[in-house]
């Protein structure tokens, strides 16, 4: 997974969090997505991109993102579902529109 793909995921993650009742800006979503390849923040992603480091959207990547979402937003998302979301969001420009159905988000968060 390349840096531009992570940016794309950050866009979708912002919409996921909005459906869960959490508003984050673009920079915050980039920092959250930095967990996918195992980095602390977006600055580390940029450094790794210059070095040519890439990552896979495997269960470990989904686990890292799930842990970060739990810490920052108290969201308990099933890791397997999160991995499916990551893989689908990577391919689809409008995946965030149906993501609320995946985790039953209402106006106040996950149910």
Contacts of range 73-81, beta carbons closer than 8 Å, 24 or more positions apart? 73/17, 73/20, 73/22, 75/20, 75/22, 75/109, 75/110, 76/110, 77/103, 77/110
Tens of pLDDT, residue by residue over 70-94, are 999 998 889 998 888 888 776 765 5
Global confidence as pTM: 0.74
Q: How many CB atoms lie within 10 A of CB 3?
A: 17
Determine the pLDDT at residue 22: 93
Residues ≥6 apart with Cβ < 8 Å to 84: none
């Amino acid at each position: 997974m390349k840096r531009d793909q992570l940016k794309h995921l950050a866009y979708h993650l912002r919409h996921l969090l909005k459906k869960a009742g959490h508003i984050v800006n673009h920079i915050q979503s980039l920092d959250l997505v930095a967990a996918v390849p195992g980095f602390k923040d977006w600055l580390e992603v940029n450094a790794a991109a210059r070095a040519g480091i890439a990552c896979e959207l495997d269960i470990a990547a989904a686990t890292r993102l799930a842990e970060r979402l739990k810490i920052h937003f108290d969201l308990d998302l099933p890791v397997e579902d999160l991995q499916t979301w990551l893989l689908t969001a990577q391919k689809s420009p409008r995946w965030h529109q149906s993501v609320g159905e995946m985790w039953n988000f209402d106006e106040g968060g996950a149910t």
